[in-house]
Structure 1
Amino acid sequence: MTTFPDVSGSTDLLGARRSAVSAARKPGSGSGSDFAALSRRITDAGLLKRRPGYYVVRIGLVVALFAGGWGAFFALGDTWWQLAVAAFLAFVFGQIALMAHDLAHRQVFRRRRPSEIAGRLFGNLGVGMSYGWWMNKHTRHHANPNHEELDPDVAPDILVWSTDQARASSGVARLIGGHQAPLFFPLLALEGFNLHVSSLRALRSPSMKSRALEGALLLLHIAGLLTALFLVLSPGKALAFLAVNQCLFGIYLGCTFAPNHKGMPTFTGAERPDFLRRQVLTSRNVRGGPLTDVLLGGLNYQIEHHLFPSMPTVHLRRAQVIVRAYCAEIGVPYHETGLIQSYREALAHLHRVGEPIRQQRRTR
C-alpha cells in the first residue's frame, strides 16, 4: 500500500506556520502597513521596472523553439520518430503558456491592450488555451489564494483540498478522493485536453470579452494542429502524436503549478488576513538554480510573484532576498523547499484530506 507521510516541513517551521495561520484567521489580524513597507523596499531596489530586453530575448527563443519543432516535424515526415518531436513540442507549449502568464500579469507591457493582443496570440493561437477564460480564473486565484470558496483553483471539482470538502464531496471527487494522491500525476496527463475543453466552454459565457476573436483563434489552433498531423502522418501516428503531445503538455504544465500552493494552509468563510499574510502563508517557493527558473518559468518564486504579480520574472530572484528577510523581521513564516520535496508535500496533503472518504468506506 502506498503511504504518504506528513513531510510538510520541520517541527519548528510547522509550529510557526500554524501559529501564524491561527493569528491570521482572527479578525483584524496583521497590518496593512506591513506590505506598504515591503513595497517601498522593492520599489527602491528598482525591481518593478520593465525589462523589455529580457522579454525580447525570451520571446525570441520561445518562438524559435516553436518554429524549430514544427520544422523538424515537417522534415521527418511519416515516422514514429515524430513522438520525440511531440515530446519536445509539449515542453515548448508549456513555455508558451508560461509566456502568456507573464503577459496576463502585464510583466511585459504596462498597458492592457498590447498585453491582451500578445496574450491571445500566445494562449489561444499558440497552445489553444483561452486567454480571457484563464485571465478571469487566475485573477480570482490571486485575489484569494487557497480560499476554499473564492479561489477556483481549490474548488472541489475532481480533487478535494480539505477534509471539509472531502466530507461534502460527491460524484467524481468522491469516487477518487480517497486515493487522489497516487492518481494526481496520472490525472495531470488529461490537463492539456481539459484546458481546450474549458476554453471552448467558456465561449458560451456572455461575460467573456471578445468572444468572437477568442473563438476564432482557438479554432484556428485546433484546425492547424489537426491538419498538420493528418497531412503528414498516418492516422495511427497522428493520434499517437496528439496523445503524447497533449498528455506531456498537461503533465509539464501541472508540474509547474502544483508546487505553488498545494498542501499550504487554506481559508474558508470570512477568514481573510491582510494582503501580505494572505499571499505568503498560502504560497510555497521552490529552491533551485537557473535551470529551475527556466523550467518553472519563475513560478518557483511563488511568494514574490503573488506579492508583486507585475514584477518581471527576471527580477524575482533578487526580490526573494528582500522578501525573505522582511518576513523574518515581522515574524511571518516563509516556506521554501526543494522541487521533489514540494511534490511530496502536495501529495501528502492530498492523501491526508482524503481520509474522511476512506474512513466512511471502511465503516460500511
Structure 2
Amino acid sequence: MATPKFSTASQSFHQELKKRINTYFAETGKAPTGNAVLYSKAIILTLAFIAIYTHLVFFTPPAILALGECILLGGVVAAIGFNIMHDGGHGSFSQSKLLNEVAAFSLNVVGGSSFMWNVKHNVIHHAYTNIDGVDDDIDIKPWMRMSSTQPRYRLHKYQHIYFWILYALLYILWVFVMDFQKYFNRKIGAMPLKKMKAWDHIVFWSFKVLYMFLFVVLPIYMVGFLPWLGGYLVFGVFTGLIISIVFQLAHTVEHTHFPMPNEMTGKMEDEWAIHQLKTTANFAPRNRVISWLVGGLNFQVEHHLFPKISHVHYPHISRIVKETCQEFGIPYIEYPKMRYAVASHVAFLREMGRK
C-alpha cells in the first residue's frame, strides 16, 4: 500500500501540546534528554549484565542457581533494551550524539541489529502506528490476527491462549531469524529497507558473529552443550516474554484503534498526534518499580508524542498531555494497573479471533 498521509487541522492539537511541553522545559530549566538518574541506571544495568554473564559462563554455578541467574540475565537484557538502547535510538539518552549512538549500539551486543531496529521502530512504527499493511509490529500473520482488517483463520480462535508461546519465542527468533529475513529480503513488512552502507553491513555481520561467540560458542565450551541449551532457552524465553508483553500492552488492547487511510485519497482521518493518542495506551503509570524497569515504556502515550524526550521526564509531562487532551476532547488511554492492561490485551486477542 502507498504510504499514508495524515490530515492537518487549523487549530492543531499537536502545536498547542508542543508549545506547552516546551514551556515546561523552559520554566524548569531541565534538558529534555537523559540525566543523572538515567546514567546511573545505565551503569547499574551494564555492570549487572557483565557480572551475571561472567558468573554463569566462567564460574559454573549449581543448576538451580544457574537457572535463576539465566532468568535474571534475561530481565537485565530486556531492561538494557528498554532503558539504554531505546532512548539512545531515539536520540534522547544524552545531549551528546556520540553517547546516543553508543547507547543505541548496545542492541548489537545483545543480539539485535541497531540498523534494522531504527528502520522498523523509529521510521515505520512511530510514524504509522497500528496501520495494517505498514506497521510491522502488528504483522504476525498467519499466526496471530492483530487487526480487524487482517484475514481470520481457524487457529486465531485460540490465539488468546497460545500467544504466550509465540511471545516467548520473540527474542530467539529476532536474533536468529527475523533480522536475517529483513537483511536478505531488503524490506520490513511491505516497506523497503533503507539502503545499507558498507559500514552497516560490517556492523551487522560482525556483531552477529560476536553474539554467536559470546552466547553460544563460549558457553558451550565452558559448561557443555546440554547445560548451555537449557540455560539459553530459559534466558531467551524470559527475555522474549518481557519484551513482547511490554510493547504489546502499548498498542494492542481493547481501547486502542487500528485506523486505515481513505482508499481514494490515501489520507488518514486524524492529524498525526491525535492518531498516536487513539492507537497508544499507558499502563501502571504510578508504579515506580515498573517505570524504572521498563524505561518509561509504560508511558507510551508520551513516548509516541515526544520520542526525542527521555523517558525520565514522562511522569512529569504526562500531566500536561492529559490536561491538554481533556481540553481538546481527545481520548487518553490509560490502565492504572499492569494486570488490567494484560487482561485487556487478552480480551483484545480473543475478540480478534472471533468470526
Return structure 1 stretches of 4+ with deviation > 4 angstroms: 27-32, 110-114
**Are 2:273 and 1:276 aligned?**
yes
**Are 2:170 and 1:191 aligned?**
yes
Instruction: Give 5+ residue unaligned stretches, structure 2.
Output: 1-5, 187-192, 263-267
Aligned equivalents of 2:19, 2:78: Cα separation in 1? 34
**In 2 relative to 1, CA 86–235 (structure 1 residues): closer, same or farther, beyond 3 Å?**
same
Does structure 1 retain, via aligned residues, the 8 Å contact 2:160–2:346?
yes
Does structure 1 retain, via aligned residues, the 8 Å contact 2:251–2:281?
yes
TM-score by length of 2: 0.85
- Give 2:132's aligned amino acid: E
Aligned equivalents of 1:31, 1:229: Cα separation in 2? 60
Does structure 2 retain, via aligned residues, the 8 Å contact 1:200–1:215?
no
**In 2 relative to 1, CA 176–325 (structure 1 residues): closer, same or farther, beyond 3 Å?**
same
**Are 2:324 and 1:326 aligned?**
yes
* Matches for 1:218-297 after TM superposition, within 5 Å: 218-263=208-253, 264-270=256-262, 271-287=268-284, 288-297=286-295
What residue number does 2:341 align with?
Answer: 342
Aligned equivalents of 1:208, 1:334: Cα separation in 2? 38
**Are 2:24 and 1:58 aligned?**
no
What residue number does 2:15 align with?
Answer: 36
Structure 1 residue 76: Cα displacement: 4.0
* Matches for 1:70-219 after TM superposition, within 5 Å: 70-74=53-57, 76-77=59-60, 79-80=62-63, 81-98=65-82, 99-110=84-95, 114-120=99-105, 122-125=106-109, 127-139=110-122, 140-157=124-141, 158-167=143-152, 174=153, 176-196=155-175, 197-204=177-184, 205=186, 207-209=195-197, 210-219=200-209
Aligned equivalents of 2:230, 2:78: Cα separation in 1? 19
Does structure 2 retain, via aligned residues, the 8 Å contact 1:50–1:312?
yes
- Give 2:170's aligned amino acid: E
Does structure 2 retain, via aligned residues, the 8 Å contact 1:105–1:309?
yes
Structure 1 residue 228: Cα displacement: 3.0
Does structure 2 retain, via aligned residues, the 8 Å contact 1:256–1:299?
yes
**In 2 relative to 1, CA 302–78 (structure 1 residues): closer, same or farther, beyond 3 Å?**
closer
Does structure 2 retain, via aligned residues, the 8 Å contact 1:31–1:274?
no
State how many pairs are aligned.
322
Q: Could you say what secondary structure the match of 1:164 adopts? A: coil
Does structure 1 retain, via aligned residues, the 8 Å contact 2:57–2:219?
no
Structure 1 residue 110: Cα displacement: 4.4
Query: Which sits farther off after the overlay, 321-330 or 50-59?
Result: 50-59
Structure 1 residue 63: Cα displacement: 0.9
Instruction: Give 5+ residue unaligned stretches, structure 1.
Output: 1-26, 168-173, 357-364
Does structure 2 retain, via aligned residues, the 8 Å contact 1:32–1:274?
no
Q: Deviations over 1:328-359 (max 9, x none)?
A: 01100111112111111111111111112xxx
TM-score by length of 1: 0.83
Q: Could you say what secondary structure the match of 2:126 adopts? A: helix
**In 2 relative to 1, CA 222–75 (structure 1 residues): closer, same or farther, beyond 3 Å?**
closer
Does structure 1 retain, via aligned residues, the 8 Å contact 2:21–2:317?
yes
Q: Could you say what secondary structure the match of 2:77 adopts? A: helix
- Give 1:277's aligned amino acid: I
Query: Which sits farther off after the overlay, 267-276 or 46-55?
Result: 46-55
Aligned equivalents of 1:224, 1:51: Cα separation in 2? 30
* Cα-Cα RMSD: 2.1
Aligned equivalents of 2:116, 2:331: Cα separation in 1? 33
**In 2 relative to 1, CA 150–32 (structure 1 residues): closer, same or farther, beyond 3 Å?**
farther
What residue number does 2:315 align with?
Answer: 317
Aligned equivalents of 1:347, 1:246: Cα separation in 2? 22
Aligned equivalents of 2:352, 2:318: Cα separation in 1? 31
- Give 1:353's aligned amino acid: M
Q: Deviations over 1:196-246 (max 9, x none)?
A: 121233333382341111220121012111133212213211110011010
Structure 1 residue 32: Cα displacement: 5.8
Does structure 2 retain, via aligned residues, the 8 Å contact 1:30–1:277?
no
Q: Could you say what secondary structure the match of 1:145 adopts? A: coil
Question: Quick one: percent identity of the two aligned structures?
Answer: 23
Does structure 2 retain, via aligned residues, the 8 Å contact 1:178–1:354?
yes
Q: Could you say what secondary structure the match of 2:347 adopts? A: helix
Aligned equivalents of 1:62, 1:297: Cα separation in 2? 12
Query: Which sits farther off after the overlay, 235-244 or 208-217?
Result: 208-217
What residue number does 1:13 align with?
Answer: none
Structure 1 residue 29: Cα displacement: 7.6
Aligned equivalents of 1:74, 1:147: Cα separation in 2? 43
Structure 1 residue 111: Cα displacement: 6.0
